[in-house]
């Protein structure tokens, strides 16, 4: 049972928009701690996608965006592409623990 809750799976057709939620509590996201997002392609290490809730590292397309409100955060992907099919994880901080969501598998139909 992860401290941060993500839907196990989401799907969308090429070109569509999908969102992935990350629900926490008053001790992590709700306490004001930042949320970061990672993408993990099959058989590879995770890669930073969004940091500090809304910021994209250099090289990450603006199709990816993040938001945060209250005890939750979301990752949005627009203009869905086949190569976006991967696992996505949110991460935050909670009382001297660094916590990840359980991960969401994105399937591009």
Partner 1 sequence: EVQLVESGGGLVQPGGSLRLSCAASGFIFSSYWMTWVRQAPGKGLEWVANINQDKSQIYYVDSVKGRFTISRDNAKNSLYLQMNSLRAEDTAVYYCARFGKNNWEIDYWGQGTLVSVSS
Binding positions for partner 1, rule: CB under 8 A: 2, 33-34, 36, 38, 40, 44-48, 51-52, 55, 57, 87, 89, 91-93, 96-103
Residue 85 or 87 with smaller CB distance to partner 1: 87
Residue 83 or 96 with smaller CB distance to partner 1: 96
Residue 17 or 23 with smaller CB distance to partner 1: 23
Q: Taking the complex as a whole, how short is the minimal distance between the CB of residue 104 and partner 1, in angstroms?
A: 10
Q: Taking the complex as a whole, how short is the minimal distance between the CB of residue 91 and partner 1, in angstroms?
A: 7
Q: Taking the complex as a whole, how short is the minimal distance between the CB of residue 15 and partner 1, in angstroms?
A: 28
Tally of CB atoms within 10 A around 103:
20
Quick one: three-class SS letters along 81-100? Answer: CHHHCEEEEEEEECCCCEEE
Q: Which residues contact 20 (CB under 8 A, 6 or more apart)?
A: 6, 7, 10, 74, 75, 76, 77, 88, 90, 104, 106
């Amino acid at each position: 049972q992860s401290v941060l809750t993500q839907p196990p799976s989401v799907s969308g057709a090429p070109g569509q928009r999908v969102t992935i939620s990350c629900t926490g509590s008053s001790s992590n996201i709700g306490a004001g701690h930042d949320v970061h997002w990672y993408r993990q392609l099959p058989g590879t290490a995770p890669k930073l996608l969004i940091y500090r809730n809304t910021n994209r590292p250099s090289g990450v397309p603006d199709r990816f965006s993040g938001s945060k409100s209250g005890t939750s955060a979301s990752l949005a992907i627009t203009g869905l592409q086949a190569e976006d099919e991967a696992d996505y994880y949110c991460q935050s901080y909670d009382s001297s623990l660094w916590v990840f969501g359980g991960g969401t598998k994105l399937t591009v139909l």
